[in-house]
Structure 1
Amino acid sequence: MAETNSYEEQRRRQIEENKRKLDELRLHKLSAAVRQAAAKPTPAKLLVPRNPRLDAPIRRSGRIASLPEQPDYRPAKAQRNERTELPSTVPVYATDEERAYAITKAEELKDQLGSDYPTFIKPMSQSYATKNNNLFIPMHFRQYLLVHDDMMVLVDEMNNEFDVLYSCKTNGRKQIPSLRRWRRFAAEHDLADGDCLVFQLIERTKFKVYVVRVSSYNKNDH
């Protein structure tokens, strides 16, 4: 009977000892977990910056509020996105009377220049004045010109010089003399439809050029 009690007492002590060790082990793990958590850096909280303009109270002017609602003159969004094209320049054409006046004045100037140097008159069309880069020379004047292509010089009334290319382009059996790179001279002198030019061949490869402006025509004088 004494042996039975001794066994039960030993068994009870063993259970208590195991329980004590188990509690100590759990406490140790919990402490380690706490220390590990404390060692980890806490992520910084992302702060969204405040917009003072949104937070500010809306101010309304009593003077503006009392005014009637103004219409919106701005074009619609779709229209604003469209590319606005500038209107093209409308060509101005001379009248028959203006053309006749310019030609008459050019003929008078040609007579004043005399016959010492070959001279021809060239009325300006809209194409010659604003578009074409080639100026055709009258066929009857080719007898005074070179028989091969060469550089020529145009001298205006202010003695400014402009280089052009003289060309004897062959068209079938006819040679059509022309001045290429003409556009620069026309642009520099702001030529217009109806103007009339007098070309005087003062050297083998040099023209003196006089301009009779159609804008000088005054219908009240006629």
Structure 2
Amino acid sequence: MANESSDNSYEEARKQRLLDNKKRFEDLGLLKLSKSLSDVTKSEKSQHRHVRPKPTSNYVIEPRRSSRARNPVSSYRDDVAIELPSLRKRSKFNSSWASYLARPLEEVKTATYEERARAYKHAEKLQSNLQSENPSFVKSMVRSHVYSCFWLGLPTKFCEDHLPKSTVDMVLENEAGKEYEAIFISKRTGLSGGWRAFALEHKLDDGDALVFELIESTRFKVYIVRAFDCEDEDNNMDEMEVESDAEEIPKKTKKSGKKIDNNKLEKSTKSSKKEISSEGVATRRSLRNK
């Protein structure tokens, strides 16, 4: 009960204070002044708000800030002869790659899958026909081997089994016996310095297959199989086979013809023997009847 009475007394005192403050504002005229100021500010805001209409017309001429007519722009095209440069024909090779080529673009070739596989097959045949028992492997050439970069990676297994474990100078010997120096980097299992001279000297192309025969610990005998020459060799082989087949066919026909004649002779001899035997039987019968 005591708490409720204290709350009521507090509320009553608060309300009484609010009423007293309101009376004081009215006596001073502050309420009217605040209302008038709020009305004035609202009217000013409404006056300042001016919505700009969006332009609906499309400008044919470029709009200008000035209302003055624009001065005519003089053109000098008729006075000066302007010759546009002719369009450059795009090469089938990437320009950034072509800038690193060590040979002219006319000599750069791109082998097809069939040409590459044909050259690799011929190289494997050449490898199998090697009379020595030296270790060897076949490597198919790509553009980075023969046209730019000139880094030749060797088979990792072959390097681990047969080549030195450190960086050494190697000798590349071609089929004619000419020697070229190259550097073998064991950590990267490939040939670096010197391989460029060998590739450019022999004009190796993309798709060529090379047989590397290790004749000494630091010497390779290199046999080259050209990708673009294998097709001609295959065509010549096909022509040789066709000619040999054509020569064998008439021989067989002659032999078969002789067999036919022999059969005819055998049949004729048998028929003559039968005729002779039949005549002999007839004569015997006639003699018996007599």
Q: State the TM-score bracket (shorter-chain normalisation).
A: 0.5 to 0.7
The answer to which structure has the higher strand fraction is 1
* C-alpha displacement of 1:133: 2.6
**Corresponding residue SS for 2:176:** coil
Identity over aligned residues, as a percent? 38
Deviations 1:53-105 (A, max 9, x none): xxxxxxxxxxxxxxxxxxxxxxx89889xxx9xx8716421111111110000
1:212 maps to which residue? 225
Aligned amino acid, residue 153 of structure 1: V
Aligned amino acid, residue 191 of structure 2: L
* C-alpha displacement of 1:132: 2.3
* 1:178 counterpart = 2:196: no
Deviations 1:27-50 (A, max 9, x none): xxxxxxxxxxxxxxxxxxxxxxxx
Highest RCO, 1 vs 2 (Cα 8 Å, sep ≥ 6): 1
Q: Choose the corresponding residue for 1:89, options 99, 105, 116.
A: 105
The answer to which structure has the higher helix fraction is 2
For residues 172 and 212 of structure 2, the distance between their equivalents in structure 1, rounded to whole angstroms, comes to: 9
TM-score for the superposition, normalised by structure 1: 0.56
**Corresponding residue SS for 2:115:** helix
**Corresponding residue SS for 2:199:** helix
For residues 218 and 201 of structure 1, the distance between their equivalents in structure 2, rounded to whole angstroms, comes to: 28
1:69 maps to which residue? none
Instruction: Pick the structure with greater CA Rg.
Output: 2
Aligned amino acid, residue 180 of structure 1: S
Q: Choose the corresponding residue for 1:101, options 115, 118, 131.
A: 118
For residues 224 and 117 of structure 2, the distance between their equivalents in structure 1, rounded to whole angstroms, comes to: 15
Structure 2 unaligned regions, length at least 5 = 1-80, 92-103, 239-290
For residues 138 and 125 of structure 1, the distance between their equivalents in structure 2, rounded to whole angstroms, comes to: 15
TM-score for the superposition, normalised by structure 2: 0.43
* 1:201 counterpart = 2:214: yes
* C-alpha displacement of 1:217: 2.8
Deviations 1:159-192 (A, max 9, x none): 11000011112xxxxxx31111211100000000
For residues 135 and 211 of structure 1, the distance between their equivalents in structure 2, rounded to whole angstroms, comes to: 15
For residues 202 and 84 of structure 2, the distance between their equivalents in structure 1, rounded to whole angstroms, comes to: 40
Q: Choose the corresponding residue for 2:143, options 112, 126, 132.
A: 126
1:150 maps to which residue? 168
State how 1:54-65 maps to structure 2 within 5 Å: none
* 1:136 counterpart = 2:148: no
**Corresponding residue SS for 1:190:** coil
For residues 82 and 211 of structure 2, the distance between their equivalents in structure 1, rounded to whole angstroms, comes to: 56
Structure 1 unaligned regions, length at least 5 = 1-75, 170-175
Runs ≥4 residues deviating over 4 A? 76-80
For residues 143 and 169 of structure 2, the distance between their equivalents in structure 1, rounded to whole angstroms, comes to: 25
**Equivalenced residues, count:** 139
Distance 1:115 1:139, change over 3 A: farther
2:144–2:151: 8 Å Cα contact kept in structure 1? no
For residues 190 and 127 of structure 1, the distance between their equivalents in structure 2, rounded to whole angstroms, comes to: 14
Distance 1:95 1:78, change over 3 A: same
